[in-house]
Amino acid sequence: MMRVEVDISGIEAGLRRLAAKEKKVQRAGLKKAAEAIADRLRENTPYYDGKRDGKWKAQRQFEKETGSNNGDFAHLRDDIKISNMNQFGEVFVGFGKETYWRVHFTEMGTIKQKPQAFIQRTEEEMRRKVMAIMVKEFKRGLGL
């Protein structure tokens, strides 16, 4: 039996070089891929269901004594951001200013919370899909 392997990495690399020349096509492909990643990240991000108020006991006690309320914390799922394309042709998908500082607690766990690895899972799930989206958009934008 004869076995044939086809390596398409050269084609993909050639398409990337061609798309880099055409910034508009590159920007559109990256934006579409970033939106797909953000949608999947939104689906995978654990969501607090509201059964508790999400505050520490000391915080609740302080608010009760002083009559102040620091407000509710934004959910991670509601604070996913997509950057614009930078000078190196990169687009970043992540969490906004309100929530970025606490993402690692959920992702990697704490002494009392097991890691949920939702960012890593999203990256693994989307790796091939992102490449397919970008190749499709580059081909469409360049008329290939």
**For residue 11, pLDDT beyond 80:** no
Each residue of 20-75: pLDDT tens digit?
667 788 888 899 999 999 999 999 998 866 665 555 566 667 667 777 665 566 77
Query: Does the global pTM surpass 0.75?
Result: no
Give the pLDDT score at 33. Answer: 93
pLDDT of residue 2: 47
CB atoms < 10 A from the CB of 133, how many? 19
Instruction: Give the three-state DSSP class for 22.
Output: coil
